[in-house]
Structure 1
Amino acid sequence: MYAIVDIETTGGHATQNRITEISIFVFDGKEVVNHFETLIHPEMSIPTYIQAFTGISNEMVEHAPVFADVAEQIYDILSGNIFVAHNVNFDHSFIKHQLQECGFDLQVKKLCTVRLSRKIVPGHRSYSLGNICAALGIRLENRHRAGGDAMATVKLFAYLISHDVEKHIEDSLKRGSKEQVLPPNVNKSDFEKLPKSPGVYFFVNDKGLAVYVGKAKNIRSRVGSHFSGDLKGKQKQNFMRDVHGFSHTATGTELLAILLESHEIRRLWPDENRAQKRIQTVYGLFDYLDQNNKIRFGIDKVRKDQRALVTFSTHAAALQYLQTLIDQYGLCPKLCNSQTNKGDCIHVTHDICDGYCLAQENVAQYNAKAQAFFDHLEAERKAYYIVGKGRTYKEQSVIIYEPDKYIGYTFVSLKEQIDFDLVKEMATPLKLNSLMESVLAQVVSGEKSKGYKVYTQMKMV
Structure 2
Amino acid sequence: MYAILDIETTGGKYNEEGITEIAIYRFDGHKVTDQFISLINPEREIQPFVVNLTGINSNMLKNAPKFYEVAKRIVEITEDCIIVAHNSEFDYRILKTEFRRLGFPFKRKTLCTVELSQQLIPNMESYSLGKLTRALGIPVSDRHRANGDALATVKLFKMLLNKDSDKKIIKQAVKVEQKSKLAPNLKEIIEELPSETGVYYIHDADGNIIYIGKSNNIRKRITQHFTNKNSKSKKIQVKVAAVTYEKTGSELVALLKESEEIKTNKPLLNRALKRNLFTQGLYSFIDSNGYINLRIESIKKDKKPITTFTNRKSGISFMNKMVESYDLCTKLCGLEKTESSCFNYGIEDCFGACIKKEIPEAYNKRASVVIEKNSYENKDMILIDRGRDIHEKSVLLIKDGVFRGLGFFDLNHQINNRDILESLITPMQNNRDTQHIIQSYMRRNKHLKIIQL
TM-score range (shorter-chain normalised) is: 0.3 to 0.5
TM-score (norm 1): 0.46
TM-score (norm 2): 0.46
